[in-house]
Chains A and B, each alone.
Chain A
Amino acid sequence: DVKVTQSSRYLVKRTGEKVFLECVQDMDHENMFWYRQDPGLGLRLIYFSYDVKMKEKGDIPEGYSVSREKKERFSLILESASTNQTSMYLCASSLRPLSSYEQYFGPGTRLTVT
């Protein structure tokens, strides 16, 4: 079974702090994704990566950056957290770019920015 793990289930940070969210997958998947999920808005893609050191902007990249130094690990960085970044953050992976319809999700990190 594919396992996608996220570093924290719940996180509380203050406005202006730099926040790191970590994601690790154990199935040698090429693709990794970061989403945020908000009521009424659904899943929105922040960034994705199809290879080590490669990254592509999703639909809402503003205020975020990512890092993929190793194939199994994909980090989401909030450079200066703001209250409107309070959300559920979900990491996902897929085997190859052309099989992105089949994504495996982590359990999510609920981030609260106060």
Chain B
Amino acid sequence: QKEVEQDPGPLSVPEGAIVSLNCTYSNSAFQYFMWYRQYSRKGPELLMYTYSSGNKEDGRFTAQVDKSSKYISLFIRDSQPSDSATYLCAMSVNSGGYQKVTFGIGTKLQVIP
């Protein structure tokens, strides 16, 4: 079993829809929970991160962490064609003085105009 599980998709939604992207994990020691966005032929860029449990909002994006269920989500409101990209969840744990990061395989999202 992988430490971080993420459905690769693809996920196609109409413009304006609410998008829900999810990951599950098995390591209860994870401390930071991140979402990266990767456009085609580009490197990933950090969208947002959360420390421990709870919600975090940034514009149209909301990240949720449920540590009891080992489940994290990214919600995108009023989705736009420019949101079409691959979204990677990632999680990290303190390992000998640095944060060791584990990435999901990414979910490909397409927002149809």
Most buried by A among B45, B94, B101, B105: B101
Is B18 close to A, CB under 8 A? no
| Interface residues in A76-98 (C-beta closer than 8 Å to B) | 90, 92, 97-98
Query: A102 touches which one: B49, B103, B105, B106 (CB < 8 A)?
Result: B49
Given the contacts A42-B88, A101-B49, A108 and B41 also touching, CB distance less than 8 Å: yes
Given the contacts A102-B49, A105-B45, A108-B42, A43 and B88 also touching, CB distance less than 8 Å: yes
**What is the number of residues of chain A that contact chain B, defined by CB distance less than 8 Å?**
22
Is A7 close to B, CB under 8 A? no
Q: B41 — which chain A residues lie within 8 A by C-beta? A: 107-108
Query: B98 touches which one: A50, A102, A108 (CB < 8 A)?
Result: A50
Is B17 close to A, CB under 8 A? no
Is A24 close to B, CB under 8 A? no
Query: B42 touches which one: A42, A97, A107 (CB < 8 A)?
Result: A107
Q: Are B105 and A101 in contact (CB under 8 A)?
A: no
Using CB atoms and an 8 Å cutoff, list the residues of chain B in contact with chain A.
Answer: 8, 32, 34, 41-46, 49, 88, 90, 92, 94, 97-101, 103-106
